[in-house]
């Protein structure tokens, strides 16, 4: 699926969980930055 | 065009569903994730993929929630590590039961029936409490101003004090002035781990009340410790399922992308909207989930494929109804605040 098919099962499983972990941290940081940048403007736009 | 073996339309569907679930999780602090596994079952995924991908989604969601709570000092690490030990054993047993039932061809039916009973029971309880209007049926998530080092033993429920009076050694001292038998902690951890491994849920909707009512951990510490514990139980559970090919990144990655955004919307809404106004919708949504799984099972038994569509509409529709109510109530409250010129919390 993401080019891990040659690895042993435990390594493939660890890599899959690692992908989810990295994605979670990127989303936390990324969405946090977006919220800081445009959150208040968006609320003002929605409520005006 | 396809990513992670999924069409763009399917990825968009999962992002949208994740957004709805994230709003619910962010607002109510529980419950959103256990709609994922039934939805995947309804969509026709194998039980092990539905449960394993559900667990991986729970893992990612709890990592994000724990990052938000890490500075609040609401984690009892000693309790967390003991819970992890008991939960890991429970998850392994739960997973073996699922794989065994799958070999017998019974996994889908038995997991579905368990979901119907659990979702229906909790949904009926939450709806009843919301209609009764005493604010029960959920967990208060306005806990950030509480000092976790404060002795909160006077706030412990009577049932927890009764359980703690049975002092089976070794006794463990916990934060908040609580002392409880090691065996009680391990028992609660094993039982909730079993549910996690069997149903593909984080177990927070059972572990949170169990930590409070059975062990007597004050709510703020129960929240933080539960999140810390779910990171490990979700991670271990999804690793065990991934070893057997049960985690599909094409499902987990878009779900998580949507839910992380939705959780920010939902948690922002908690400072604007009164939870009790929405709780009845939450109860109805859980009941809708229970009916959806039941309809799907009836469709499978009677061979009527249209009932699968009805089931999917019920699950997505009820999640859409409640998350829509949260967003609508938030916007109304914001407009009212703007109209009256009062300040709005972030």
DSSP state of B44: T
Residue A28 touches chain B, beta carbons under 8 Å: yes
| Mean local confidence (pLDDT), B17-39 | 76
A35 domain-assigned:
yes
- Provide φ and ψ at B6, rounded to 5°: -120, 150
The helix (H) or strand (E) run that includes residue B171 is strand B171-174
**In this predicted structure, what is the pLDDT of residue B279?**
72
**In this predicted structure, what is the pLDDT of residue B255?**
94
Average pLDDT in chain A: 83
| Full domain range(s) for residue A46 | 21-48
A10 domain-assigned:
no
Residue A4 touches chain B, beta carbons under 8 Å: no
A15 domain-assigned:
no
**In this predicted structure, what is the pLDDT of residue B287?**
85
Q: CB A21 to CB B253 under 8 A?
A: no
Neighbours of B19 (CB within 10 A): 23
Q: How many helices, marked H, and strands, marked E, lie in chain B?
A: 12, 4
Contacts of B118 (CB under 8 A, 6+ apart): B34, B199
A14 domain-assigned:
no
Task: Label residue B268 by pLDDT band (50, 70, 90).
Answer: confident
Q: For testing the chain A interface, which of B6, B67, B268 should be mutated: the one with the most A CBs within 10 Å?
A: B67
Q: Which of B18, B68, B71, B12 is nearest to A35 (CA)?
A: B68
DSSP state of B45: -
A47 domain-assigned:
yes
Q: Which residues pair with B7 in a beta bridge?
A: B2
pLDDT > 90? residue A26: yes
Q: Are B148 and B224 in contact (CB under 8 A)?
A: yes
A37 domain-assigned:
yes
Give residue-wise pLDDT tens across range B87-99: 889 988 988 888 8
**In this predicted structure, what is the pLDDT of residue B133?**
64
Give residue-wise pLDDT tens across range B114-147: 878 887 887 888 788 777 765 444 444 444 444 5
What is the total residue count of chain B? 346
| Mean local confidence (pLDDT), B140-156 | 50
Give residue-wise pLDDT tens across range B210-244: 777 778 777 767 777 887 888 887 888 889 889 98
Q: Which of B328, B322, B292 is nearest to B21 (CA)?
A: B322
pLDDT > 80? residue B103: yes
Number of domains making up chain A: 1
Q: CB B256 to CB A27 under 8 A?
A: yes
Q: CB A28 to CB B264 under 8 A?
A: no
Q: CB A13 to CB B256 under 8 A?
A: no
**In this predicted structure, what is the pLDDT of residue B152?**
52
**In this predicted structure, what is the pLDDT of residue B311?**
84
Neighbours of B168 (CB within 10 A): 10
Q: Which residues pair with B179 in a beta bridge?
A: B173
Q: How far is CA B346 from CA A33, B211, B259, B322, in A?
A: 15, 30, 20, 22
**In this predicted structure, what is the pLDDT of residue B143?**
43
Q: CB A47 to CB B252 under 8 A?
A: no
Q: Which of B260, B263, B203 is nearest to B233 (CA)?
A: B203
Average pLDDT in chain B: 78
Q: CB B59 to CB A17 under 8 A?
A: yes
pLDDT > 70? residue B205: no
Distance (Å, whole) CA B119 – CA B49: 20
Ranges B152-156, B165-169, B336-340, most confident: B165-169
Q: How far is CA B329 from the centre of its chain?
A: 23
In terms of phi and psi (left: phi > 0; alpha: psi -120 to 50; beta: otherwise), the region of B245 is left
A13 domain-assigned:
no
Q: Are B249 and A1 in contact (CB under 8 A)?
A: yes
Q: For testing the chain B interface, which of A5, A7, A28, A45 should be mutated: the one with the most B CBs within 10 Å?
A: A28
Residue A35 touches chain B, beta carbons under 8 Å: yes
A12 domain-assigned:
no
Strand B171-174, strand B6-7: pairing: unpaired
Residue A38 touches chain B, beta carbons under 8 Å: no
């Amino acid at each position: 699926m993401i080019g891990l098919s040659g690895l042993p099962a435990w390594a493939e499983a660890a890599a899959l969980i690692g992908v989810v972990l990295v994605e979670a941290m990127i989303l936390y940081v990324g969405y946090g930055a977006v919220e800081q940048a445009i959150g208040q403007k968006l609320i003002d736009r929605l409520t005006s | 065009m396809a990513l992670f073996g999924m069409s763009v339309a399917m990825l968009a569907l999962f992002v949208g569903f994740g957004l709805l679930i994230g709003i619910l999780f962010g607002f109510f602090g529980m419950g959103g994730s256990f709609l994922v596994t039934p939805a995947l079952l309804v969509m026709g995924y194998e039980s092990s993929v539905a449960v394993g991908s559900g667990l991986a989604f729970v893992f990612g969601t709890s990592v994000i929630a724990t990052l938000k709570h890490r500075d609040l000092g609401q984690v009892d690490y000693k309790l967390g590590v003991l819970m992890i030990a008991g939960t890991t054993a429970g998850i392994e047993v739960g997973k073996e039961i699922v794989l065994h039932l799958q070999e017998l061809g019974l996994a889908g039916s038995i997991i579905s029936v368990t979901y119907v009973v659990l979702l229906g029971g909790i949904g009926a309880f939450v709806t009843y409490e919301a209609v009764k209007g005493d604010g029960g049926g959920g967990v208060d998530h306005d806990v950030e101003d509480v000092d976790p080092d404060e002795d909160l033993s006077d706030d412990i429920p009577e049932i927890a004090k009764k359980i703690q009076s049975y002092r089976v050694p070794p006794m463990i001292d916990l934060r908040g002035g609580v002392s409880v038998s090691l065996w009680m902690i391990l028992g609660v951890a094993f039982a909730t781990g079993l549910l996690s491994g069997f149903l593909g849920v984080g177990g927070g909707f059972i572990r949170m009340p169990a930590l409070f009512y059975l062990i007597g951990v004050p709510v703020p510490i129960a929240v933080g410790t539960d999140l810390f514990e779910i990171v490990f139980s979700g991670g271990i559970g999804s690793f065990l399922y991934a070893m057997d090919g049960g985690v599909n990144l094409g499902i987990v990655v878009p779900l998580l992308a949507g839910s992380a955004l939705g959780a920010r919307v939902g948690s922002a809404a908690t400072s604007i909207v009164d939870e009790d106004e929405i709780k009845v919708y939450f109860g109805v949504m859980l009941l809708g989930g229970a009916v959806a799984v039941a309809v799907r099972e009836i469709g499978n038994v009677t061979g009527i494929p249209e009932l699968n569509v009805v089931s999917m509409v019920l699950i997505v529709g009820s999640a859409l109804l409640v998350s829509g109510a949260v967003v609508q109530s938030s916007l109304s409250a914001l407009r009212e605040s703007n109209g009256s010129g009062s300040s709005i919390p972030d």
